[in-house]
Structure 1
Amino acid sequence: MQKDRLRELSKEFYRYLKNEKGVATNTQRAYEGDLDHFLKFVMTRPEDKVDHKTIRAYIQSIYRQVKKSSLSRKVSSIKAFFRFLKRKGYLSENPALIIKNPKIEKHLPKFYSVDEMFHFLDSLPAANWLDLRNLAIFELIYSTGMRASEALGLNLEDIHLEGLWVLVRGKGGKERVLPFGAKARDAILKYLSLAGEAGQGGRRALFINAQGDRLSYRGLLKIMKKHQIQAGLLKNLALHGIRHSFATHMLNGGADLRSIQELLGHSKLSTTQRYTHISIDKIMEIYDKAHPRR
């Protein structure tokens, strides 16, 4: 395919991701960044035709400049783009089909122990409605295992405090219903009550900032980092760490992998199985107690 035509079709691919596939905003941004970088490289090439050799040349040009995880993501974005072009009939053959993703080291998820998680939540201040909002969102994420982005995307009508359940929209626009506990319910009730008194009631978004707009991911990350330091927790956990803590604690508490998979919204069980490696100490403890000959 001619490279100018390829650039034109990239816009159609971006519209497909947003309107048909319904990918998350961050995922959309990653796809566009990866493909724009690839297309800039393509435009510098002397040949007009883009084939598997062009893709290999691009990979070689950035191989030593980026982390393997970033390289793997970029290759995946390129492969997804060419799959789209083949499926839409713009290509008779997919030149990216023979391109393999580089192997990357799989790191085990970081998480808090139960005591550390409780300490983090119990150490959060409750002086005003913004403090109560922080407590409510962290309690909800830990209680349900939802992604931080999913929690930030919640609207008031999604949360059902009497029934102790919440409707979550995950990756690809998939919906799932998640239960939550009394601690999360009480924290949300206190937050909504004080937010209403502060004149911030009636907003559609469940979690809002001081200006009344939906709280951003970056804003929540800054809040978490601040309170981690204040709580004296030395583990450098990102927001996803609370979700990892939920999954690990559920597994250690006896929940089966299939149930955890449903709660986390994983499409593949293999993604959830990462937590079995983390819980090997718990497995060994059960083995030592249960096996008759050891």
Structure 2
Amino acid sequence: MPKLDITQSFVDTVKVESEASSTDFYDKKLVGLLLKVLPSGRKTFYLRYKDTENCSCQRKIGNAVILNITEARDLARLYLAKISLGQDPFLHAPISPSPTLGSFALEDYLPYVKTYKKSWNMDESRLRNHLLPRFRNRRMSDIKKRDVVALINELAENFKPGTINRVTILLRYMFNLAMKWEIKGVTRNPTAGIPLLKENNQNERFLSALDAKALLRAINYSRNKMLKHIIPMLILTGARKREVLDAKWEDFDLDRGIWRIPNTKSGKARVVPLSDTARNLIEKLSANQCCDYVFANPNTRKPYASFYYSWHTARKDAGLADLRVHDLRHSFASFLVNAGRSLYEVQTLLGHSQITTTQRYAHLSTDSLRRASNEVSVAVPELT
């Protein structure tokens, strides 16, 4: 969002790159005034402000072909003065009805994020499970801040802060896009000013050997027959859930014992060396290939969007109700560290781009470090 002292010369000559959807130029002289420039050359003045509910709003002032910068500033000052007095200068302006959240989500938002976002299916899941049940038929212009707060309070009864924050962030992004795309009737974001909940990201769970055995027993009784393959693969490789679910047969070279993950969180491909057990798991599955995906849903022959319910049942049956799928990745790291493997080896196997990310497991290596320090006593027995 470039900020500058907008001049009439700038308004007359500014252009944006053809691949950009639009660019907003914010005026330094008058806070809230902006010039939106489209690749087509269309230029429009807008005013951004907070309404009486402290929601962020954006309303059109006028076409830059008709208004010059001085006139736009004068109108913006007039509107801001009325807003400061608690009035709505746009109250009687004709407002086109906005789309419902459901129609915007399904017809505009999801088709857009599918073009670039690898985790779009997570957005789809959050929409289906949390946002659409409440807001599907509500016009976006009718969704208020109090509605968002009510949703957060309702979710807090059954979900952790991290889950609730992901839902809030999704809703915020959707409204920001609707305003950026100039969707009719969407002039404010009801999530503005609503803080995210505090998350305790250090509350990580690590499987013990006994925990792992209990979990493996439970998944063998799961109605989801693929779960008994997915969970061991996660534990044996430390891969992320989406990496396993999206794995294709073509990604594996069993002769060399490697798995190439083409799309990782960092955006770079990485190669995972397979243990003998992991390789045997893939070899057994290869006897019953039904599609391109190794861990496909047998009903759809596509990757699972989620296996939450079968996972939730299995972890409860194993007495591990607080265990998250991502904790299996942490457990892979803890098994390595406690076996005396270096943090560098753990970093490489997990695919961390920064060693600082792997250092979260350093506290687990106390016993191996103690064994290492004892080597000094062995080398210099006179110290004992």
Shorter-chain TM-score range: 0.5 to 0.7
The residue matched to 2:153 in structure 1 has which SS? Answer: coil
Summarize the Cα distance change of 1:234–1:269 in structure 2 as closer, same or farther, 3 Å threshold: same
> Cα offset for 1:88?
4.4
Bigger Rg, structure 1 or 2: 2
TM-score (norm 1): 0.65
Match of 2:248 in 1: 155
Hey, what does 1:76 align to over in structure 2? 169
C-alpha displacement at 1:269, in angstroms? 7.5
Distance in 1 (alpha carbons) for counterparts of 2:187 and 2:259: 45
- 1:281 and 1:157 map into 2 onto residues whose CA distance is 36
2: distance between equivalents of 1:25 and 1:153? Answer: 12
- Alpha-carbon distance between aligned partners in 1 of 2:197 and 2:219, rounded to the nearest angstrom: 42
1:75 Cα offset (Å): 1.8
Equivalent in the alignment of 1:235: 320
Q: CA deviation at 1:249?
A: 2.3
Q: CA contact under 8 A between 1:18 and 1:28: conserved in structure 2?
A: no
User: Is the contact made by 1:23 and 1:173 (CA closer than 8 Å) also made in structure 2?
Assistant: no
Greater fraction strand: 2
1:186 to 274, 277, 280: 280
Q: Tell me, in whole angstroms, the C-alpha distance in 2 between the residues paired with 1:288 and 1:121.
A: 31
Corresponding position of 1:204: 292
1:212 and 1:41 mapped to 2: Cα distance? 29
Corresponding position of 1:110: 205
Distance 1:139 1:31 in 2: 30
Q: Give deviations 1:214-244, integer Å, cap 9, x for gaps.
A: 5747669738955995xxx533335434222
Counterpart amino acid of residue 152 in structure 1: L
For residue 206 of structure 1, report the CA deviation from its aligned partner: 1.8
Q: Please give the alpha-carbon distance, in whole angstroms, between the structure 1 residues aligned to 2:117 and 2:347.
A: 21
Q: How many residues align?
A: 267
Matches of 2:151 and 2:312, distance apart in 1: 34
Q: Equivalent of 2:124, from 28, 44, 47?
A: 28
Identity across matched positions, percent: 20
Amino acid at match of 1:156: W
1:94 and 1:22, CA in 2 relative to 1: closer, same or farther beyond 3 A?
same
Deviates more, 1:208-217 or 1:154-163: 208-217
Relative contact order, higher structure (CA 8 A, sep 6+) = 1
Q: Which runs of 5+ in 2 are unaligned?
A: 1-57, 59-94, 377-384
* Shift in alpha-carbon separation, 1:256–1:32, aligned structure 2, 3 A: same
Match of 2:381 in 1: none
Per-residue deviation, residues 108-160 of structure 1 (Å, max 9, x unmatched):
222312464368669998xxxx98x7665444322321133432322211111
1:21 alignment partner, SS class = coil
- 1:1-294 correspondence runs (5 A): 4-5=98-99, 7=101, 9-10=104-105, 11-31=107-127, 33-36=129-132, 39=135, 43=139, 54-55=144-145, 57-67=146-156, 69=161, 70-85=163-178, 87-88=180-181, 96=191, 98-106=193-201, 108-114=203-209, 116-117=211-212, 137-168=230-261, 169-170=263-264, 175-192=269-286, 195=287, 200-201=288-289, 203-207=291-295, 213=301, 216=304, 222=310, 233-236=318-321, 237-252=323-338, 253-256=340-343, 260=346, 263-264=349-350, 275-276=360-361, 280=363, 282-283=365-366, 286=369, 290=373
Q: TM-score, normalised by structure 2?
A: 0.52
**Amino acid in structure 1 at the alignment position of 2:273:** P
On the 8 A contact 1:160/1:166 being kept in 2, the answer is yes
Query: Which amino acid in the other structure matches residue 270 of structure 2?
Result: R
Which ranges in structure 1 are unaligned for 5 or more consecutive residues?
Answer: none
Letter of the 1:235 partner, please give it.
Answer: L
The question of whether the paired residues in 2 share the 8 Å contact of 1:141 and 1:243 is answered with: yes
Return closer, same or farther for 1:164/1:135 CA change in 2, 3 Å cut-off.
Answer: farther
